[in-house]
Amino acid sequence: MAFPHYRRLGKKSALTAVAFAIFTLFVITSLDLWRKGVDSSSKPLIDYDSHLVDLTLVRNATDRGAVCLDGTPPGYHFQKGFGSGLNNWLLHIEGGGWCNSVPSCYARTRSKHGSSNFMEHKDSFYGILSHEQSQNPDFYNWNKVKIRYCDGGSFSGNSKYEDQNETKLFFRGQLIWEVIMDELLSMGLANAGQALLSGCSAGGLATLIHCDDFRALLPKVATVKCLADGALFLDEEDISGRRTMRSVYHDVVNLQGIEKSLQRDCVSHLKPTQCFFPEKIVENINTALFLVNSAYDFWQIQHVLAPDTSDPHNAWLKCKMDIRACSSNQIERLQGFRTSLLKTLSSFQHSKDGGLLITSCYIHCQTWMTSTWHSSNSPRINNKTIAEAFGDWYFNRREVKEIDCPYPCNPTCFNMVFSELHGD
């Protein structure tokens, strides 16, 4: 059995984790295990067991048909705010890829990404969810909610599958979103003075899909904004000339009945698959939005630009595992991928209310680990951590449109390295 091993380059600190698994054209991530960061003396960067937050299963969710892929009720972790943050709310949607076929979705029912039976009963909050002021200076004392992801369709599915072998799958992401919002509104979210909807990866895509919905649920006088992290998945040709990501999204949208959850103006003149791509969603969002992404997002490099299916001879394997091992031609291709990302953001860069932070690190998702969100070793652009830059934008302290210089220019970067470890 082989697992990826991660470490940070250029500094003494390192990360170890169990990585997400890929089954053909879909992904199940285990990014939440990255929080186990350690420094050179092997002491935890954070005492993650100091404040465990209980899992809550949504009341009456099953009665409303708002269930995970296997029919179990969805869940969330809630940490009550305190002090000046008592009336403010931060919601973070968990990531975890998508499933685009019956076998891949059924496989997820045996994991926390498809069934609440496998979700941790307690979880530690970290990064943007941390309750420690030193690690989360602007949002540490807000009411915070981690929304668990168990539908495989970025909280946008609207269908059910059943075959003659009695295999049942529930694609109810849209309903899950609605019942969770109803429950949180009844707990005080309806009276929020300030609120933030955030998410990572597939959870970041869900944030984009539901950003305006979230704004509409809250008082008009409330300050409501959204943050999507690692969610700018591109409709880009891979190294073989195929559009792998478009194929994945096409299958996800059709299997899960996602069209109903997409922006009406978009699906009125474009195919639903196109409207599932972040680029099109961002164009039509009215709520203030902040985007955090890497120009060299390792998930996209590994599965959008150079997926295994387009690289039968593994010419890109070393490069995908360690960006330092990329050849000059591969680096040139990576720079082209960066250019494509920035091109998709050309209009957003001129958005009056929008905020933007694009790093040059080989990483995927940067807001929910303290190591990359806000610590002494965190990546910086213009001497600001991601937490500091985002806080400046959210509280209108300054305009934030930060685009890092091309790799390998930033010495503070947190670059991931993957290597095969073999065991039983």
For 11, other C-beta atoms within 10 Å of its C-beta total: 15
Catalytic residue among 210, 303, 364, 374: 364
Query: Is 32 an active-site residue?
Result: no
The reported pLDDT for the residue numbered 29 is 38
Contacts of 276 (CB under 8 A, 6+ apart): 156, 205, 249, 252, 253, 258, 262
Position with higher pLDDT, 13 vs 64: 64
Query: Is 39 an active-site residue?
Result: no
Catalytic residue among 201, 261, 371, 375: 201
Q: Alpha carbon 11 to chain centroid distance? A: 25
Reported as a pLDDT band with limits 50, 70 and 90, residue 180 is very high
- Does residue 32 carry a pLDDT above 80? no
The reported pLDDT for the residue numbered 51 is 74
Report the pLDDT averaged over residues 156-178: 93
The reported pLDDT for the residue numbered 163 is 81
Reported as a pLDDT band with limits 50, 70 and 90, residue 166 is confident
- CA 420 – CA 8 distance, rounded (Å): 16
Average pLDDT, rounded, for the chain: 89
Catalytic residue among 151, 235, 297, 404: 297
pLDDT tens-digit readout, 238-283:
999 999 999 999 999 999 999 999 999 999 999 999 999 999 999 9
Position with higher pLDDT, 80 vs 9: 80
Q: Alpha carbon 112 to chain centroid distance? A: 16
The rounded percent of the chain whose pLDDT value lies above 90 is: 85
- Does residue 19 carry a pLDDT above 90? no
Report the pLDDT averaged over residues 299-312: 97
Longest dimension (CA), the chain: 60
- CA 345 – CA 250 distance, rounded (Å): 23
Query: Is 322 an active-site residue?
Result: no
